[in-house]
Amino acid sequence: MSGRRLGILGGTFDPIHCGHVETAAAAVRVLDLSAVLVVPASVPPHRSEPFASAFHRFAMVAMAVAGRPGWLASDIEVSVPQARSFTVDTLRRFHDRGYRAAELFFILGADAFVEIGTWRDYPGVLDLANFAVVSRPGNAAGHLRGRLPALAGRMVDATAALRAPDRPAIIVIDAPTPDVSSTAVRRRVAEGETVAGMVPPGVLQHIEQHGLYRSDS
């Protein structure tokens, strides 16, 4: 990667959906990111084993980023099979590749960030990258200062973050994102309902072609 403002969108992506994609797109727009890596987890630490294999989840991520310049699927976590995927370890791998904390932008929804206190190596993990936190339905990024008062002093808007590019921060991005979840996608597929519009077209095709998430699979 030649760019030095690298967005990293991590998650289980079981499956990746339009909410994930638009969360990253919001960060790209306001932070002028040069590239985005979408990183499916091998074994997520905070939930049960994924329904779809790492192979299928990586394939769906690759489908979701196809046609988006500067967006790439990354196997940095799924290439370590059966290993629990911790954000702190992934960010350290990027540091080992020559990136500085201020050049990395870990993108996530406000619904996930409110659980940051449960993450491995908290609060130290916050020093390894900028955290670009985007509003999700029912979880406005603008409310995070009240919900996480201990971190309020580290929270800035995108304009302030761009003015101080050498200092990692928690960047609050209040932008609309679709009200969709992986749980809802899996449930609808299992019930025989369409998920068109909830997932990118290539992801829909992959789910249908391989019979993922069906009640009889």
Cα–Cα distance measured from residue 22 to residue 48, given in angstroms and rounded to the nearest whole number = 25
Tokens standing for 196? 């068109």
Percentage of the chain surpassing pLDDT 70? 98
pTM: 0.95
Summarize pLDDT for 129-139 with one digit per residue, the tens. 999 999 999 99
pLDDT band at residue 21 using 50, 70 and 90 as cut-offs: very high
Which residue from 185, 183, 180, 176 is spatially nearest to 208, judged by alpha carbons? Answer: 185
All structural domains of the chain with their residue ranges: 6-176
Domain 6-176 grouped into CATH 3.40.50.620: yes
Angle, helices 54-65 vs 201-210, to 10°: value is 150
Summarize pLDDT for 57-90 with one digit per residue, the tens. 999 999 999 999 999 999 999 998 777 889 999 9
Q: Looking up tokens 């590019």, which residue turns up?
A: 165
Summarize pLDDT for 143-180 with one digit per residue, the tens. 999 999 999 999 999 988 888 777 799 999 999 999 99
